[in-house]
Amino acid sequence: PDVHDSIIGLLEFNLFGIPYIGADICGFFGHPSAELCERWMQLGAFYTFSRNHNTINTKDQDPAIFGPANADSARRALNLRYSLLPYLYTLFYEVNSNGGTVIRSMMQSFPKDIKSRNIDTQFMWGPAIMIAPVLSAGKIEVEVYFPGGRWFDFTSGELISEGDKKTVTVSAPRDKIPVFVREGYIIPTQLHGANTEVARKNPMDIIIIPDENGKAEGKLFLDDGDTIDTVENGKFYLSSFKFNGTYFSMTITTHNETMVDSIRVGSMTIFGIRREITSVTVNNANKLFEKLKPHNKLYIKDLGVTLQNNVEVVLK
């Protein structure tokens, strides 16, 4: 179906050097079913250019037209997109500065993995996030191929795959799109809002997915969200994240955008923590934390700092 073919377009145009791309969600022609439009809205939330759009003289296909359940499902997917905008925006900065792709095929991400070369039903956002949408009607699960290493369900933090590469049958009820995060990366997120202007003022939440050695890294790029040529003129904010299993650092490398100074660093979540933690300090101040079972997530509710200064977190 067209919903599947749209993924191929995403992958091709990124290789052509056009990372801002997306098909017309729910199709430009024809009349999609409620279920397939719901699934397409979930996939479309992960187009870099995300728009539900169709031609004149066709039936309305906005989520609300199909009823409250579809509207709630679309809202959930779009809120997930909005929460990941700091990570996505940073990917665009890196591609703009260094070349590369934002949406990546499994083949591009894992070129030595023979099986990845034939997969066009799942894809990566940068190096850290994998999306595996449902592409057919009547399906409430999806076969997902995981290359080697640790992969976690983004929403729950459940460890889905580790060790050797494998294919896993993953539950995907109508209101969920399967999204997974890969070991070794740190993902900046933000509480979603009604629009990007609201969302970008919300607290920043940091998600750490350590590899088997406890290490992870990431970056955060921000500018005022409006001015053009901010990179060329040096009017932006850039920080790097590092984690080694016991120590997290956020180090500011460029700070020429004062807008970010009021943005709080809210929570920190570390996936797959198997050892016991007895204390957490943030810039030498003790912080409350909790171990969330059954998936071994460590959750620090409020770091109590802003993006204005470097941050150090120590786990003992």
What digits encode the pLDDT tens for the residues 13-51?
A: 999 999 999 988 877 666 778 888 899 999 999 999 987
Going by C-beta distance under 8 Å and a sequence separation of 6 or more, which residues neighbour residue 99? 17
CATH assignment of the domain containing 171: 2.60.40.1180
Greater model confidence, 61 or 153: 153
Residues 147 and 216 both lie in one domain? no
Cα gap 49→20, rounded to integer Å: 6
Residues 145 and 189 both lie in one domain? no
Final residue of a structural domain among 99, 134, 151: 99
Structural domain containing residue 157: 106-180
Residues 207 and 126 both lie in one domain? no
Residues 192 and 311 both lie in one domain? yes
pLDDT band at 61 (very low <50, low <70, confident <90, very high): low
Task: Give backbone dihedrals phi and psi of 123, rounded to 5 degrees, phi first.
Answer: -155, 170
Going by C-beta distance under 8 Å and a sequence separation of 6 or more, which residues neighbour residue 205? 83, 188, 189, 190, 191, 265, 266, 267, 268, 269
Please name every residue paired with 222 in a beta bridge, in sequence order, or none if there are none: 237
pLDDT tens for 127-173 read: 999 999 999 999 999 999 999 999 999 999 999 999 999 999 999 99
Q: Considering its fold, how many domains does the chain have in total?
A: 3
pLDDT band at 237 (very low <50, low <70, confident <90, very high): very high
Please name every residue paired with 285 in a beta bridge, in sequence order, or none if there are none: 282
